Chains A and B, each alone.
Chain A
Amino acid sequence: MSNVKKLIITAVCIALCVVLPMAFHAIPNAGSIFLPMHIPVLLCGLICGWPFGLAAGLAGPFLSALITGMPPMAFLPSMLVELSVYGIVAGILAALIRTGKPILDLYFSLIGALLAGRLVAGILNALIFRAGSYSIGAWVTGYFATALPGIIIQLILIPAIVFALERAKLIPRRYN
């Protein structure tokens, strides 16, 4: 895929970081449960590589906060870190893992990215953003228990979107 196309796909993913949460607000409580902003960032990392995933992870939440006021500025720093790590790790793992089966590559990269993002965000919350008032219990509840429907949705939706995009010939197939 050319660099220009990667650039435009990243721009579209950043735009979707603003649009998808608004679309999900049509479904009551869906925004907080299904974590819609994570999907374009993870996709961008998987399809375009880690530098573009990082750009989407940084610009997506920032632009959304600026335009729609969500996420509120108070939660923005930890979200920026979490989403940037998703984008970077998804891109790195997608480049490194080549099992020969696209679905396995996708799942390994996705699960690795989801774990790494939550781990780094938890560490930074404990050390910087909410130092002194953050516990492992709060981390498990916030990033795993409450987010479980969102994690399941991401694990179902993202491979489905990648394969649909491949079938539509909008992105190249992983193995020919």
Chain B
Amino acid sequence: MMHSAILSGHYLPNDTPIHRLNPRAKIISFFTLLAVVIITRSTVGYTALGLLLLSLAHLSKTGPRIVFSGIRRVGLFLLLIFLMNALFFNGDRPLWEYAFFHISVGGIAQGANVALKVIFLMALSSILMTTTTPMEITDTFAWLLSPLQRLRIPVHDFALMISIAIQFIPVLAEESETIIKAQTARAAKLDSPKLREKANALLPLVLPIFISAFRRADELALAMEARGFRGGKFRTRKSSPGFTRLDFAALTISIAFCAAAVILHR
């Protein structure tokens, strides 16, 4: 149940051009394309973005099924966003009106615009997470944030925290799943329609999750301290390889998309 939820954003090892990209180039391209999704609001823009995402899914051998799998979980939420905009947004070219309901072409377009942005953002995140290892992501974030070191912000500690957090997620998810199953077997009323019964079911669910998570944290901290870990500037890391033609091509394509989106939606 929970594992399938994580799988859409889990690293899938493979040897594809997208996997081979320098993580720095990949993450800069990701943020550039993120800006494209935010700027885009026309049919032409969404069609071009959709084709680009499908090509990336094909190139990374991730496949549209995994890339778009996260969207199924938020399907109801997307439908709600669409309906809220379609029914209540007082847009141009009204089609039908009754009391506070206004269905208009503008409202439907606004609803579709918001829903499409969420879908494309999720697909983009999914491609990044399935083709980049957690360590590569954290090292790149540390590199991107490194100017903040001049302000005495402990960037390396922050990157280490993210890296440990990413590695803890599947472990804690599995443990939470076991705890939920155990509590359901003990007749916990998790699906009761009454708020009070739901709230009562939470304490025996949440407490063991926290105790178990903090116990793991305690063991890991003890092990790291016993090995003389000091963190921060004392930590060494593998140097990042330079940019190749493939990396420059990825950066050029994403910047070209961003420039086209800015010109198209001026």
Chain A residues close to B by CB (< 8 Å): 2-5, 7-12, 14-16, 18-20, 22-23, 25-28, 30, 33-34, 39, 43, 55, 59, 63, 65-70, 72-74, 149, 152-153, 156-157, 160-161, 164-165, 168, 170-171
Contacts and interface: CB of A to CB of B under 8 A. Distances in A.
B201 interface: yes
A23 B207 contact: no
Nearest to B154: A51
A164 B117 CA distance: 43
Interface string B141-175: 00000000000000001101111111011001100
Given A63-B165, A67-B9, A73 B199 contact: no
B114 interface: yes
Contacts of A14: 161-162, 165
B176 A73 contact: no
A39 B202 CA distance: 12
Nearest to B222: A5
Contact of A19 (B70, B172, B231): B172
B212 to A, nearest CB: 10
B5 interface: yes
B198 A30 contact: yes
Contacts of A7: 157, 160-161, 164, 221, 231
B151 to A, nearest CB: 13
Nearest to B191: A28
Nearest to A165: B214
B257 to A, nearest CB: 18
A157 B169 CA distance: 22
Interface residues of B, number: 63
Contacts, number: 176
Which among A5, A7, A63 has the greatest number of chain B C-beta atoms within 10 A? A7
A170 B125 contact: no
Given A27-B190, A74-B118, A157-B202, A15 B168 contact: yes
B182 interface: no
A22 B173 contact: yes
B167 to A, nearest CB: 8
B259 interface: no
Contact of A15 (B206, B213, B229): B213
Contacts of A69: 8-9, 70-71, 73-74, 118, 121-122, 125
A157 B200 CA distance: 11
Given A23-B2, A66-B128, A165-B210, 14 more contacts: A2-B225, A8-B224, A10-B161, A14-B165, A15-B213, A16-B209, A19-B209, A22-B6, A23-B173, A26-B180, A67-B125, A69-B118, A69-B122, A70-B74
A161 B190 contact: no
Contact of B206 (A39, A74, A165): A39
B238 to A, nearest CB: 21
Given A8-B221, A59-B162, A161 B207 contact: yes
B162 A63 contact: yes
Interface in B101-138: 114, 117-118, 121-122, 125, 128-129
B221 A170 contact: no
Contact of A160 (B118, B169, B207): B207
Nearest to A33: B195
Which among A20, A25, A27, A65 has the greatest number of chain B C-beta atoms within 10 A? A27
A5 B215 CA distance: 11
A170 B198 CA distance: 28
